[in-house]
A and B are shown apart, each in its own frame.
Chain A
Amino acid sequence: MNEIDRREFLRRMMILGFSASAATLLARCGAAQSPTAPPTAVPTSAPTASLPATPTAGPTPATAQPPTPAPAVGDAYLAVARGESPAALVQAAIRAIGGIERFVKPGADVLIKPNICVAYHGPEYAATTNPEVVGALVALCLGAGARRVRVMDNPFGGTPEAAYARSGIADAVKAAGGQMEVMSEMKYATVPIPQGKDLKQIRIYRDAVDADVFINVPIAKDHGLARLTLGMKNLLGVIWDRPAMHRNMGQRIAELTSLVRPTLTVVDAVRILLANGPTGGSLADVKQTNTVIASADIVAADAYATSLFGLTPADVSYIPAAAKMGLGTMDLAGVRVEEIHV
């Protein structure tokens, strides 16, 4: 009796094993026949330093991110939009720096990284990126023909699901046709940082490096160590071990930026958090500034955002560190900044 059961068990396991391998083979064939659309690299003389090849530890072939295309003549290097409607600010700022088509080609796989650091408060507390800003970006990308637009962050306080919901971003993204993704452990890989001096390698969410388009959407707010959390600081959400970044923070954040190189950075300063950041929780610390900053240059975007707090780029350690590494410019006098009132 027992033996027959065992034999039967083994027989079934073999059938299962064969079907699984057959399925894998089929999947491989399928993948070979329909390669994902390669990112359309546009030759450019972008002011940002040329992107290093991004090797990945896993067997996934490293897909080199296309360098951000240069602005056409007449486009602003950095745009600052001010006005009442967050969505209109996003549209205006991106139009000014060349339009979303400059960054998102038809068929592109787009990743949007807002700051959804905690599940504690609604957007009025300015601890998380404004949902209307994120929603408008999703709509723009899909309008430009993106294959899919995923939005994600890895909150340090509360579950991702709760944080996505509380921030209002889940609803806004869904309404705009995008999808929220919970960042699974399986998608982290340890990759070398070619320009890294302090950090030689880092465990990072693969898609942050591999996606065709990576749009970084920080909210500008107070931070105890970095003074401000802006675009580059927001990239801490895509790495595995955040506490490790708190030593020699400015340099380490700059080195992380050299690896991720967002296609586009949109700083949400509709509301900014002046104290008790990054978590917030008191409306007394929130200031309504009705501003959105956009640039392909993350360093420039962060540099401009410091002015909203009455600071200079040099006050926020990772900005000079990144400028020194050639990741962008913090000298805004040397580039074309367009200010728009919407």
Chain B
Amino acid sequence: MTPQSWRRIRQAVQILAALLFAYLLLGTRQGLPTFLPHDLFFRLDPLVGAAAMLASRRWIPALALGLATIALAVVTGRAWCGWLCPLGAVLDWMCPRKPAAQDDPRGNWRTAKHALLLVILSAALLGNLTLLILDPLTILFRTMTAAVLPAVNALLIAAESALYAIGPLQRPLEWADGILRGAGLVGGEPAFQQGIVLALLFGAIVALNAVRPRFWCRYLCPLGALLGLVSKVALVRHRVDADTCIACGKCARACPTGTIDPARGYAADPAECTLCLDCAAVCPTNAVGFHGHLVPAAWRDYDPSRRQALLALGAAVAGVGLLRAAPAARRESPWLIRPPGARENGLLDKCVRCGECMKVCPTSGLQPSLFAAGLEGLWTPVLVPRLGYCDYSCHSCGQACPTGAIPLLSLDDKRRAVLGVAYIDENRCIPWADGVDCIVCEEMCPVPEKAIQLDVQTVTRPDGTVAEVRRPRVVRERCIGCGICEYKCPLNGEAAIRVRAA
């Protein structure tokens, strides 16, 4: 096999891995109809696994699969990054230019990712997982869930609706609509707060490719840093045969992570090399090979030092201290309505911010928190009933959660899980304020013995007329806080019945 065909195999594997990611992403919906675990990539992510287990102080069996990725790194270094990581694939494909002539194989900024990794792990020791928002897989999954797929859905529905006006297209459109629905690209009207923010963040990560190819992977990615440290002992590593090398420099220019150092005989740091084989494919003399080594690779200037580790620990301690001293930690927001069972479960030290629950939620009521949970709970799930209610027939979020932050509840248990209590705003509620019948909230209430009762009362309307009207009343002990009343309240803007956290 030539190096070129090896590279082609690598590219094919990369495409397949990205397709698998897309398939599992689209399959993350009610019923989870995928043939592999929908959260396979998170299970394979050793950073997510290590941080979640450190923070919650328990063994999470599903995440043990991350050890396989570590084992892979022991054998083949950062092959994960070059062959399997779906974010890496996206960054490879969206690279706006070929590598620059001169790169920075010794650039000290590479240490930023180590700092990030050490802060994440130190904070996890203190029970905090906030910075897992910067794990590459959570970034990709969250962006797809909260920004890309909702946009695709909106565009497809707009296109369908526009084209449906053309008579002969109606039958093909019905057929296409069925296919798109089956694929999970249309339907459910997903809409997420901060979708645009997440899209911009993702755009920035892609745009950094213009500064250096795979800027994210070489300087910032904490998972890449973790795998890189393991790769110091990798068995299979890049090696240049000094006898055949003609020092043409093609390999250094082709290297997407810029780790090939002309000043060191075109050697690469296995902690930075993604085994993409681009160097081998461009080498005119076949001087580049990948061979077994048993001696650990040299420590570089940008590799973490004891001082950096202590600094990271200090930063994590300071950061967690500040977060815990924030008002949100003192008094919880009334709008911090957690997914069923999650509050009781202590969500913060288990939630890896992956976004699986938001993807699976059929009403997209589960939203990435911005302020409700304080900065510490950034992008953890919070139910926003005005945007989507907790479906009485659904317990998918607990099934989708890879870490058990949202507990796995049977449907019966989930139906009894109290998320909050609904309160009526009597100043705005139509029957209360206007003396006119409405009852939508009562009609929607899914509890078998309705938590909203109607009292027939004779009232004086604002215009002075007297009428009989059915006024809603919430029976607190029956209300589970699902929020369908708030979602369906026909008032514009804020509902006249709102759920507050239990």
* B-binding residues in A (CB < 8 A): 24, 27-28, 30-31, 58-61, 118-120, 156-159, 161-163, 166, 182, 184-187, 223-225, 243-244, 246-247, 249, 276, 278-282, 285
Contact A118 B393 (CB under 8 A): yes
What residues of chain A lie closer than 8 Å to B31, measured between beta carbons?
A: 162
Residue of B nearest to A119 (CB): B393
Contact A27 B172 (CB under 8 A): yes
Give the interface centre of B436, B442, B445, B448 by most chain A CB atoms within 10 Å: B448
Give the interface centre of B394, B443, B454 by most chain A CB atoms within 10 Å: B443
Do A247 and B436 form a contact, CB below 8 Å, given A120-B392, A182-B187, A186-B164?
A: yes
Residues of B350-394 whose CB lies within 8 A of A: 362, 391-394
What residues of chain A lie closer than 8 Å to B170, measured between beta carbons?
A: 60
What residues of chain A lie closer than 8 Å to B489, measured between beta carbons?
A: 243
Contact string, B446-460, partner A, CB cutoff 8 A, digits 1/0?
111110001000000
Contact A119 B173 (CB under 8 A): no
CA distance A120 to B450 in the complex (A): 14
What residues of chain B lie closer than 8 Å to A244, measured between beta carbons?
A: 490
User: Least Cβ distance of A247 to chain B in Å?
Assistant: 7
Q: Contacting B454 at CB < 8 Å: which of A118, A184, A224, A280?
A: A224
User: Least Cβ distance of A253 to chain B in Å?
Assistant: 14
Q: Contacting A157 at CB < 8 Å: which of B173, B178, B181, B444?
A: B444
Contact B165 A60 (CB under 8 A): yes
Q: B168 interface residue, CB < 8 Å from A?
A: yes
Contact A159 B362 (CB under 8 A): yes
Contact A186 B490 (CB under 8 A): no
User: Least Cβ distance of A125 to chain B in Å?
Assistant: 9
CA distance A186 to B454 in the complex (A): 36
Contact A158 B394 (CB under 8 A): yes
What residues of chain B lie closer than 8 Å to A119, measured between beta carbons?
A: 391-394
What residues of chain B lie closer than 8 Å to A243, measured between beta carbons?
A: 440, 488-490
User: Least Cβ distance of A309 to chain B in Å?
Assistant: 17
Return 25 A-B CB contacts under 8 Å, by A number.
A27-B168, A58-B165, A59-B166, A118-B392, A156-B444, A157-B446, A158-B391, A158-B393, A158-B394, A162-B391, A163-B393, A166-B393, A182-B181, A182-B187, A185-B157, A224-B439, A224-B470, A225-B437, A246-B438, A246-B439, A247-B438, A278-B443, A279-B450, A281-B446, A285-B448
What residues of chain B lie closer than 8 Å to A162, measured between beta carbons?
A: 30-31, 362, 391, 393-394
Q: Contacting A279 at CB < 8 Å: which of B165, B362, B445?
A: B445
Q: Contacting A24 at CB < 8 Å: which of B168, B392, B437?
A: B168
CA distance A276 to B178 in the complex (A): 35
Contact A246 B362 (CB under 8 A): no
Residue of B nearest to A187 (CB): B164
* A-binding residues in B (CB < 8 A): 30-31, 157, 160-161, 163-170, 172-174, 177-178, 181, 186-188, 362, 391-394, 436-440, 442-450, 454, 470, 484, 488-490
User: Least Cβ distance of A1 to chain B in Å?
Assistant: 10
Contact B391 A27 (CB under 8 A): no
Q: How many residue pairs bridge A and B at CB < 8 Å?
A: 116
What residues of chain A lie closer than 8 Å to B484, measured between beta carbons?
A: 157
CA distance A243 to B170 in the complex (A): 29
Contact A120 B157 (CB under 8 A): no
User: Least Cβ distance of A227 to chain B in Å?
Assistant: 11
Do A186 and B177 form a contact, CB below 8 Å, given A223-B443, A276-B448?
A: yes
Contact A186 B447 (CB under 8 A): no
CA distance A187 to B173 in the complex (A): 10
Residue of A nearest to B164 (CB): A186
Contact A281 B448 (CB under 8 A): yes
What residues of chain B lie closer than 8 Å to A223, measured between beta carbons?
A: 443
Residue of B nearest to A57 (CB): B165
User: Least Cβ distance of B98 to chain A in Å?
Assistant: 10
What residues of chain B lie closer than 8 Å to A156, measured between beta carbons?
A: 444, 488
Residue of B nearest to A244 (CB): B490
What residues of chain B lie closer than 8 Å to A186, measured between beta carbons?
A: 157, 160-161, 163-164, 173, 177
Contact B392 A246 (CB under 8 A): no
User: Least Cβ distance of A240 to chain B in Å?
Assistant: 12
Contact A224 B161 (CB under 8 A): no
User: Least Cβ distance of A149 to chain B in Å?
Assistant: 15
What residues of chain B lie closer than 8 Å to A281, measured between beta carbons?
A: 446-448
Q: Contacting B392 at CB < 8 Å: which of A28, A158, A247, A285?
A: A158
User: Least Cβ distance of A32 to chain B in Å?
Assistant: 9
Contacts A184-B181, A224-B454 given; 16 further ones with Cβ under 8 A?
A: A118-B392, A157-B393, A158-B392, A159-B30, A159-B188, A159-B391, A184-B177, A185-B160, A185-B161, A186-B157, A224-B470, A225-B470, A279-B443, A279-B444, A280-B448, A281-B447
Q: Contacting A27 at CB < 8 Å: which of B160, B169, B393, B443?
A: B169
CA distance A118 to B470 in the complex (A): 24
What residues of chain B lie closer than 8 Å to A30, measured between beta carbons?
A: 168
Give the interface centre of B177, B446, B484 by most chain A CB atoms within 10 Å: B446
What residues of chain A lie closer than 8 Å to B391, measured between beta carbons?
A: 119, 157-159, 162
Contact A225 B439 (CB under 8 A): yes
CA distance A246 to B443 in the complex (A): 11
Contact B169 A24 (CB under 8 A): yes
Contact A276 B470 (CB under 8 A): no
Residue of B nearest to A279 (CB): B446
User: Least Cβ distance of A302 to chain B in Å?
Assistant: 18
What residues of chain A lie closer than 8 Å to B160, measured between beta carbons?
A: 184-186
Residue of B nearest to A25 (CB): B168
CA distance A246 to B429 in the complex (A): 13
CA distance A278 to B444 in the complex (A): 8
Do A246 and B437 form a contact, CB below 8 Å, given A158-B393, A276-B448?
A: yes
What residues of chain A lie closer than 8 Å to B444, measured between beta carbons?
A: 156-157, 279
What residues of chain B lie closer than 8 Å to A249, measured between beta carbons?
A: 437
CA distance A161 to B393 in the complex (A): 12
Give the interface centre of A61, A163, A184, A249 by most chain B CB atoms within 10 Å: A184
User: Least Cβ distance of B74 to chain A in Å?
Assistant: 40
Do A282 and B448 form a contact, CB below 8 Å, given A159-B30, A186-B164?
A: yes
What residues of chain B lie closer than 8 Å to A182, measured between beta carbons?
A: 178, 181, 187
